[in-house]
Structure 1
């Protein structure tokens, strides 16, 4: 039986109809959309491909700054997506009460395990589920509680300093500091999370390609998050999965660690006092038996596994890089540290209130936020009217990129593109009242890199503890310089910020 042929004229008519629908959609998006008054690149108004391509290139942060300086405080970066640059709207969009829902940009970060799609505390769009699941552990992440991790951090800092001395200081070799900061950040995260290192510092390499695979995963997640539906075709399809799967790798690793630790507990093989995160979570089985099981513990641990090493290493690399580029700032920091007469590793109680150390770290975080993409939310029912009167209807994706707000001249001055830790100090002719108000605005803006509202990063206090202690220890112990002060690092923004090519000479101080 022969097949029924379709006349060519019908094919032509069908294609013409599809073409007409596409053209009609494009005209609507540009001229009749509720967002038509929001300016932006012409291509961005008709397709999300524009922002996916720019994100894939690795410098969407700079593109956003350029767009806002051209178009103003609201820029249309997609057919239904608006980027905001007004720091004053951070508390509105990322509110604690009646929070705006996360958009579907976070969905590609789901894990597909045995055919089931699993969200996590970072990417879930369900606020009630998030609040319910984070409540038992929220109290474990105050500064008072994270200080219990200081001995574990000290252990890793000591190992790091010893390794730098042996491999680079004593023999005069050039240190690829970007790699070694990554080794430290991942090992210290493992130590306070599980009570053991991954082994990067001991083996002096990327063990089992954990960092490489994680980076590849984020380089997938960043552009795909701009067109999240495409993840259903690539990584989440049931036939052949395409692309890296770092979240799945992290989940399987966490299940392994949890199982091994509980076996050690059952066999009474745990000696001495244990103060790592895993132990604290396991103990919650006793106080919250109806909720806490191994799956829940893994879900909690994923917050550290997914973000702990990458975000803190980005900030620490930025500190070392910008100090190497700013001899006067480095000299001022060293003077302060020498005056403090710090032991090694530097204790938190002696570094927490050092003003210039704090200024240097805040300025590096401002210049180079560890996360530098738009944190998308969805405009709630009733819509939202911008301060200038323009209206954003309900369902619009909207958000702020911390890289953009951290370059805001209204908050940081006309030299907002320059590294200057002094901006965080009181000026010689500045009143205390003016300084405190200016400092508050700067801190509120820069701290947005940790998120806002109920979805703020719980590990922010631990990150500050780890970073301050390491930077104080390194610059109390070593003189650290770029091989060539004119050398420029390489940089790729893939949700988390990755910096490369930081060859440094380390000498004993």
Structure 2
């Protein structure tokens, strides 16, 4: 024992004498290990990014990661090493590989951070779950509710939001006052989600403000998720710490999104202490009614937990991305008056021919080709998602451009990069809706393959994309049919901050009623 004790003392003695030096040596060794990983060492990128994740954290913290990604690929080419184990890819041919229906490239640790807790237990949603099997099971439960024909059964609910939206805009137009149209478009998107999900507006349009601080809360959650998602192992020390869950009240008592979801459910049903959902309304076309009916008729197909998770996901994710696209459409049209005039001409011609309802129906809007081009081009130039869509390289590894990436390496594509691909989109920085109408069949297919990444890819494509498309197709032509829309300060550019979603500020407009 004395011998062992003496040996231990000899080992510990240098540590006690030189603790700082030893820590520094370990840090340097870790940085060198990061830098010289096989398969990654020869991939170009920012010098510090190969050693530490801090370069990427800083890029996200600045809110400029989408622009940084474009510039990095212009400088370094198809592959860019943006963190010790992260590779950003620009070549579109890898979209079906990384985001294929097989899901052999699984989601990274970035995604589970964006989930809720219910009854003090983390609950994965369709977006945050990393398990392909779990994703398929959950999607089968609710996927039908998001099908385009099923959503169009509730088109009158969207119409009611459009009517309220334009009535509130009348107040600004009649007083000749500038309006933050970007904010009001988000109020509109929130209320549409409320109608389709709960058969009730969330109160944003009526009150003309951020109800219960939900917009601010979601902004804070996205900022946390985007930053912590670059170093996901830190989440277990922060908000994902089991002590946090133990010491804090249950999330359904303080998280604004979850609180509202629970309140909306309780307006139509009752939730017992054990989590059982009873007295649910079995009629109606909103998602709560449909899912509650499924649960009441076959509890094995739908649980209370399922209903709460999917409804709260609608509230959390159903407004921001749509609002970003709507702001982009208005902003780019205002900045390109010739495009605005072409779209107005198309709307007015249809109106004079008696082809438009009040408000404009989705089917009628689909007969406007230039509107279609404007929407597609706006979302191409300004995608809602601004970070890498991360995936793990599977067990067999993968070779990309002569570099072999071993299993576990994180790869992905940023939609901002592929949407600015000059080979597929000539003059990619130009706003040109005509490109979607004039392209050959082959060119259009190539463009669509890249554009679709705005909503994700493969089995993980955004389940709510049809909701967004219906809103955009209906509200934009109705807005321009009723108002002349101009930027209050045409020379002033908007301000964009990328915290996972590329949120814009500064779409301040003057409105005038059209005769």
With the length of structure 1 as denominator, give the TM-score of the two structures. Answer: 0.92
Match of 1:153 in 2: 158
| Contact 1:372–1:402 (CA under 8 A) maintained in structure 2 | yes
Match of 1:432 in 2: none
Match of 2:6 in 1: none
CA drift at 1:93 = 0.3
Partner Cα distance (2:136, 2:484) in 1: 46
1:382 correspondence with 2:396? yes
CA drift at 1:286 = 4.3
Given candidates 104, 108, 120, the residue that maps to 1:99 is: 104
Match of 1:488 in 2: 493
Match of 2:433 in 1: 421
The 1:444/1:32 distance shift into structure 2, 3 A limit, reads: closer
Match of 2:5 in 1: none
**Structure 2 residue matching 1:411: 3-state secondary structure:** coil
Q: CA RMSD in A?
A: 2.4
**Structure 2 residue matching 1:475: 3-state secondary structure:** helix
Given candidates 348, 358, 361, the residue that maps to 2:372 is: 358
**Structure 2 residue matching 1:97: 3-state secondary structure:** coil
Partner Cα distance (2:216, 2:280) in 1: 36
CA drift at 1:344 = 2.5
Greater CA drift, 109-118 or 59-68:
109-118
Q: Which runs of 5+ in 2 are unaligned?
A: 1-8, 272-276
1:259 correspondence with 2:266? yes
Could you give the per-residue CA deviations for residues 156-197 of structure 1, whole angstroms, max 9, x where no partner exists? 00000011012x111100011111111111111111111111
For these two proteins, the number of residue pairs brought into alignment is 492
Given candidates 211, 215, 225, the residue that maps to 2:219 is: 215
Partner Cα distance (2:37, 2:391) in 1: 23
1:68-107 residue pairs with structure 2 within 5 A? Answer: 68-107=73-112
Match of 1:126 in 2: 131
1:181 correspondence with 2:180? no
**Structure 2 residue matching 1:311: 3-state secondary structure:** helix
1:93-492 residue pairs with structure 2 within 5 A? Answer: 93-166=98-171, 168-239=172-243, 248-263=255-270, 274-341=284-351, 342-386=356-400, 388-413=401-426, 415-426=427-438, 435-492=440-497
CA drift at 1:88 = 1.5
**Structure 2 residue matching 1:82: 3-state secondary structure:** strand
Match of 2:3 in 1: none
**Structure 2 residue matching 1:258: 3-state secondary structure:** helix
Q: Which runs of 5+ in 1 are unaligned?
A: 428-434
CA drift at 1:56 = 1.1
**Structure 2 residue matching 1:485: 3-state secondary structure:** coil
Partner Cα distance (2:213, 2:280) in 1: 32
Partner Cα distance (2:455, 2:163) in 1: 27
Greater CA drift, 13-22 or 299-308:
13-22
Moved runs in structure 1, 4+ residues, more than 6 A? 264-270
| Contact 2:35–2:41 (CA under 8 A) maintained in structure 1 | yes
Partner Cα distance (2:292, 2:148) in 1: 21
Partner Cα distance (1:181, 1:221) in 2: 24
Partner Cα distance (1:268, 1:25) in 2: 56
